[in-house]
A and B are shown apart, each in its own frame.
Chain A
Amino acid sequence: MTDIPANDATNDAEARTRTREAALIRKRYRAERRFRMYGLAAILAALGMLTVLLVSIVSAGLPAFTTTQIALDLNFDAGDIDPGGSRDPAKLASANYRGALLKSLRAEFPGSETRQGRRDALNMISNNVPFVMRDMVLADPFIIGTTQRVWVKSSADIDQLAKGSIDRTLPESDRRVDNRQLAWFEKLEREERIRTVFNSTFFTTADSREPEQAGILGAVIGSALTLIITLLLSFPVGVMAAVYLEEFAPKNRWTDLIEVNINNLAAVPSIVFGLLGLAVFLNFFGLPRSAPVVGGMVLALMTLPTIIIASRAALKAVPPSIREAALGMGASRLQTVTHHVLPLAMPGILTGTIIGMAQALGETAPLLMIGMVAFIVDVPGGFTDPATVLPVQIFLWADAPERAFVERTSAAIMVLLTFLIMMNLFAVLLRKKFERRW
C-alpha cells in the first residue's frame, strides 16, 4: 500500500486503517447488493401484479366457455300450439308455447303445481325455451302432439350450480337455488340428464339480460365497424400529415405549433375526446348517437397523434441518400416521396398504425360519452346502427350483479386480450421482418 519505511507504531496504525477500510468496503458492497435487490424486487413486483391480473381474469373467465344443458321431455301439446289444427305457419308462430312448456314442466318436476313451484321450475331453464319450441315446430310441424326429449339451456343459476360455483351446503336463504330446485337438479344429475357443452351462444349472440343468452358477437361486430371507420380516417390523414411534416414542411412557427400540438394531443385524456365527440359530432352536426361511425371518428382523432408520431419516426429512418439519389435522377419531391421514401418507411408506418388500432380497440371512456353504452340486443348491421363495442360490453357486464356475468365479463376480457395480443404480435413480426439497417 505504501512505500514509507515503517516502524512498529506506524505498523499498528496501518493495521487499524486496513481494518477500517475493509469494513467500509464490506459496507459499500452490502449497499450495492441491497440496491440491486430493490431493482430486481421492483421488476418482480410488476411481473407479479401482471400474473395476478391475468390469472384472476382467466380463472374467472374460463367457465364461461362452457354451459349447462338439461334434457327435458317437451310435450308439444296440440291444444296449446295448434288448437284449430290448421298448421298455418302464421298462427304457429304466435301460438301459446309457454302453456305447452308449463305442461311439460309439470310432468318433469313433481311439486311444481303450486305458484311457487311453477316459478321454481321455470327458473331451472333459460327463458328462451318457448322460442326454441316455436322454432322446432316451424321447422317440422309434424312434431305437434308428440313429446320430444330436447337438450335445453339451463338457467344461469343452475349453470352456476352445475359448475360448482354455488355452495350446496349453505342454508337455503343464502343460496340462489332453493331446496326444491336443488332436489330436482340432483335427480336430473342422477338420471344423467345434465350435460356441459361448449358455450357457442357466447360467440353467436349479442347482449341479453339473461346471462345464459348473452354473447359478444354484437360487441365484436360493433368494434370491427368502429375500427374500420377509425382506420379509414386516421391512416390516410396520419400518413399525409407525417409526410408533410417530415418531407415538405419548412421549419417555421406554424410547423412548430403543429408539432407541439400533436405531442400534446397524444397525452390528452381520452375522455376529453369523448366530450369533443359529444359536443361537436352529436350536438353540433347532429350525427346519430351510439353509432359506430361517430365512435370511429372520435377514436380516429385519438389515434391520429400515435400514427403521425410513428410515421414520422419511420420516415426519418429512411436515409437522406435515397432522397438525394431520386432527386438527382430528376424526380420531383413528391415523386421521390411516393416512389422511394414512403415504400421504405411503410413497415414502420404500418407497425405504428396497428399499435394505434390496438389502443383504439381497447378504448372505452370516449365511447361512453357518445352513447355507445346502450343496451343493444341486435347485432349491428351498418355504420349508423346503434352498436356497442367490446370494452364497453365488458364495462356493462362488469356492472351487472349476477354472478354469471362476472364469468362472462372475464371471458369477454379474454377475447379482447386475444385480439390485442394478435395485433401486437403482428406488429412485432412486421417490424422483425422488415427491420432494415442502412
Chain B
Amino acid sequence: MTDAAMSEDNTPKELEAALEKAPETEAVKALPIKVRATDVNVFYGDNHALKDVTIDIPEHRVTAFIGPSGCGKSTFLRCINRMNDTIDICRIEGKIEIDDRDIYDRSIDVVQLRAKVGMVFQKPNPFPKSIYDNIAYGPRIHGMVAGKTDTDEMVEASLKRAGLWAEVKDRLAQPGTSLSGGQQQRLCIARAIAVSPQVILMDEPCSALDPIATARIEELIDELRRNFTIVIVTHSMQQAARVSQKTAFFHLGVLVEQGNTEQIFTNPVDKRTQDYITGRFG
C-alpha cells in the first residue's frame, strides 16, 4: 500500500455506484471474492477443530460467522491472518487465498500478510502506551510514515475514520488504557485501520461492551465496509443480522450453512441452523 492510496477511498467508482443501487442480496453475488477458503482443516494436537471448511468472502461486505461457542468460528477467523501460527500445536491443512494468492504459501511473509489483514479482538487490548502511540505503532513498524507531521496526519485520519477523534483529540498523550471500554475498542479498530489493511477480522468485538458502545461499533462497522472487507465473529444473532450481508453458520467444527444474511435468518436450509436461530440450542 502506498501513502496516497491509504488516505483515499480505494473503492472503484463504478462499484460504488453499484453498491448504492443494488439491493444487498444481489450485491453479494455481484461483488468480487476477496478471501477464498477451500477445504480448510485445523488440528490442535489431536483435536480436529475445523473440518473441510470452504467459503468465499466477498469484497467490501461484512461477512458474519455465527454458531455456538467452541464451534470453530474464531479458529477459522484466526486462520485468515495466520494468527494460529503463534500456537505451537496448531496445524492447518487446505487452502486460503486472498486475491487469488495462497496465504499459506512459502513465499508469503506473515508480517506483510498481517499488515494486509488486520484484526480486532474480543477484549479491547490497547498497548500500554499513549493513544497517539497506539495508532502510530503499526505505521511506524511498517515504515509507512516518515517524520512527525506525517505521523500526526496518519493518527488523525485513523481516529477520524474510527469515529474517535472528537473524543480524544485533546488527550492523545494519555495512555490508551485510560479510555472507556467502548472507546478502547474503537481505538483498537483505529489502530487496525491505520496500516490500511484490505481485510479486517473482528473476533466478537462487542462481547465485552455495553449496548450503547456496541451500537456505536456496529455503526462504525457499517461505515468501514466501504473501504475494507470485514469478517466478524459474533455470538449475537441480532448483531449478525444488523451488520452483515453474508452469514456463515458453524457447528462443531463444520461450516453448516452459508448465504445471504437475510436468507439465513428467514429461510435456513439446514435443520441445525434453524434450531440455532430459533434458540433451541446455543
Q: Do chains A and B touch in the complex (CB under 8 A)?
A: yes
Interface: A132 (CB within 8 A): no
B120-152 at interface with A (beta carbon < 8 Å): 141-143
In the assembled complex, the Cα of A107 lies from the Cα of B66 at a distance in Å of 105
In the assembled complex, the Cα of A3 lies from the Cα of B12 at a distance in Å of 8
User: Can you name the residue of chain A whose Cβ is closest to the Cβ of B3?
Assistant: A17
A28 in contact with B12 (CB, 8 Å): no
B141 in contact with A1 (CB, 8 Å): no
> Given that A13-B2, A24-B142, A28-B141 are contacting pairs, would A3 and B111 also be in contact in the complex, using a CB cutoff of 8 Å?
no
User: Which of B1, B5, B111 has a CB less than 8 Å from the CB of A28?
Assistant: B111
Chain A residues with CB under 8 Å of B111's CB are 25, 28
Chain B residues with CB under 8 Å of A3's CB are 10, 12
In the assembled complex, the Cα of A20 lies from the Cα of B142 at a distance in Å of 11
In the assembled complex, the Cα of A4 lies from the Cα of B5 at a distance in Å of 9
A343 nearest CB across to chain B (Å)? 35
Chain A interface residue number, banded: 10 to 19
Chain A residues with CB under 8 Å of B5's CB are 2, 4
Looking at chain B's contact residues, the main secondary structure is: loop
User: Which of A1, A20, A24, A25 has a CB less than 8 Å from the CB of B1?
Assistant: A1
User: Can you name the residue of chain A whose Cβ is closest to the Cβ of B143?
Assistant: A24
Q: Quick one: CB contact mask for B105-121 with A, threshold 8 Å, 1 for yes?
A: 00001011000000000
In the assembled complex, the Cα of A28 lies from the Cα of B111 at a distance in Å of 10
Chain A residues with CB under 8 Å of B10's CB are 2-4
B1-44 at interface with A (beta carbon < 8 Å): 1-2, 5, 10, 12
In the assembled complex, the Cα of A3 lies from the Cα of B109 at a distance in Å of 20
In the assembled complex, the Cα of A3 lies from the Cα of B10 at a distance in Å of 8
B39-53 at interface with A (beta carbon < 8 Å): none
Chain B residues with CB under 8 Å of A20's CB are 143
In the assembled complex, the Cα of A342 lies from the Cα of B270 at a distance in Å of 56
User: Can you name the residue of chain A whose Cβ is closest to the Cβ of B142?
Assistant: A24
B141 in contact with A17 (CB, 8 Å): no
User: Can you name the residue of chain A whose Cβ is closest to the Cβ of B109?
Assistant: A25
User: Can you name the residue of chain B whose Cβ is closest to the Cβ of A10?
Assistant: B2
In the assembled complex, the Cα of A3 lies from the Cα of B141 at a distance in Å of 24
B203 nearest CB across to chain A (Å)? 26
User: Can you name the residue of chain A whose Cβ is closest to the Cβ of B112?
Assistant: A25
In the assembled complex, the Cα of A17 lies from the Cα of B144 at a distance in Å of 11
Chain B residues with CB under 8 Å of A28's CB are 111, 141
Chain A residues with CB under 8 Å of B2's CB are 2, 13-14, 17
Chain A residues with CB under 8 Å of B12's CB are 3-4
Chain A residues with CB under 8 Å of B142's CB are 24
* 3 closest A-B pairs by CB: A24-B143, A17-B2, A2-B5
Show 23 residue pairs from A and B whose CB-CB distance is below 8 angstroms, ordered by the A residue. A1-B1, A2-B1, A2-B2, A2-B5, A2-B10, A3-B10, A3-B12, A4-B5, A4-B10, A4-B12, A13-B2, A14-B2, A17-B2, A20-B143, A21-B112, A21-B143, A24-B142, A24-B143, A25-B109, A25-B111, A25-B112, A28-B111, A28-B141
Known: A4-B12, A25-B111. 11 other contacts (CB 8 A): A2-B5, A2-B10, A3-B10, A4-B10, A20-B143, A21-B143, A24-B142, A25-B109, A25-B112, A28-B111, A28-B141
